[in-house]
Structure 1
Amino acid sequence: MFIQPWDAALDDAEWQSWIADGHDFGQLCVNGPPGRAPVVVPTHFTTDAGRLLIHLARPNPVWEAIEHDPNVTFTVVGDYAFIPGPWRAKPGSPPTDGVPTSYYAAVQFTCHARIVDEPEAKAQLLRRQMAHFQPDGDHAPIDVHQPPYGRMLSGIRGLELDVVDVRAKFKYDDHKPVEHRGAVAAHLVERGQGLDAPAARRQSSRLDRVGPWKP
């Protein structure tokens, strides 16, 4: 992922709070065995003390790829929007001279994957995930000796992804003048399609922190 200086995360807290704010679905990318394409798996995940926790069905083809190469990338993308050319035209120039772009937030984790197969270890991984996704505890006990989870554990495998490196990108035209960025955020709110609203909030948040861009 190419990151211009003005697109970089302002600090670790920015990408960490973005992930914590409901961005818990991404894609696990694993090198395939020689002669095969990489394996890419969309999935929910949770974070846990420098690790990402995942579970997937045992028949998933990703396991063979991980056993071949446990060095993986997990990527999360959100708050994206297409920005049409007229919104980016320079003052005094024809609107059609504006060049369109994409706004988005992306966090890529480089990780070392460890497969979890022992039943109690898988149950513990699921408990951690459920504490995140169903914090009210409105589910049956996740116990290796009790239904429904006990009999289902054999059908899944767990993954602990030890995070080696993190690269974060927040692409919102931060190198453009303050007035330009404010106007685009207003256009996003007015258009109100797809992820326009969160993209506008992200741009406004960075505008408040960055102000005029200084190399």
Structure 2
Amino acid sequence: MLVHPWDAPRDDDEWRDWLGSHDFGQLAVNGPPGEPPHVQPLHFAFDAARGAHGEVVTHLARPNPLWSALEADPVVLLSVVDDYVYVPGPWQAAPEGPPEHGVPTSFYAAVQLRCHARVVDDPGEKADLLNRQVGHFQPDGGSARAAAGEAPYGRLLSGIRGLRLEVTGVRAKFKYAGKRTEEVRDRIAVGLAERAGPRDAGARAHLARRGGI
């Protein structure tokens, strides 16, 4: 992923705060020689306080074809993208030029976590991992805790394998008119507000936060 200086996060808190409210992504694992990578959509829980860059926990069904590739090469990439919108060319046109000469583009937020994966098969560890995930997605409770050998989830643990992903590197990008003038950013913000399509409000919030409008 290309990250221009004007699209880079201002500090680690920016991408961490964004990732804290985005917990669905795609896990890319190197495939065997001559084959494309395995790409698995999944929910996950990110814990910024564990390790140098944080830790991700998740789980998948035991029959998933990803496991053999993961065991052959534990270096993986977790990609999360959201708040993406299409920006029409006239919105981006230079003030001194005709609107039809504006260049259309995409706005988006993206975080890519390079990770070292560890497969979790111990029933007790899997139960702990599941409880961490449920605690993230259901902070107010409502579900029984998982425990090895105990109802209601103990007998189901054999059907899954857990994953702990130690984050070893981060690439983040917030592409929201960072190199445009204030006048152009204001025009884009008005366009997003008037269009009011899916994700337009989120993109406009990024534009305002990063562009100072």
For 1:134, the equivalent position in structure 2 comes to 138
Distance in 1 of aligned mates of 2:12 and 2:210 = 14
**Per-residue CA distance 1:136-176 (angstroms, 9 max, x = gap):** 11002211122221111111100001110011100011111
Tell me how many residue pairs correspond in the alignment: 208
Is the 2:127–2:148 contact (alpha carbons within 8 Å) kept by the matching residues of 1?
A: yes
For 2:18, the equivalent position in structure 1 comes to 18
5+ long unaligned stretches in structure 2: none
Counterparts of residues 116-155 of structure 1 (less than 5 Å): 116-155=120-159
Which residue identity is paired with 2:2?
F
Distance in 1 of aligned mates of 2:185 and 2:14 = 19
Distance in 1 of aligned mates of 2:107 and 2:182 = 16
For 2:7, the equivalent position in structure 1 comes to 7
List 4+ stretches of structure 1 deviating above 6 A: none
Distance in 1 of aligned mates of 2:75 and 2:28 = 9
Distance in 1 of aligned mates of 2:150 and 2:98 = 68
- The answer to whether 1:188 aligns with 2:198 is no
What is the identity percentage for the equivalent residue pairs of Structure 1 and Structure 2?
A: 55
> 3-state DSSP class of the match of 1:32?
coil
- The answer to whether 1:68 aligns with 2:72 is yes
For 2:40, the equivalent position in structure 1 comes to 41
> 3-state DSSP class of the match of 1:132?
helix
**Per-residue CA distance 1:5-56 (angstroms, 9 max, x = gap):** 1000010010011111x21111100100112110000111111211110111
- The answer to whether 1:173 aligns with 2:177 is yes
What do you get for the CA RMSD once the two structures are aligned? Answer: 1.1
- Calculate the TM-score normalised by the size of structure 2: 0.95
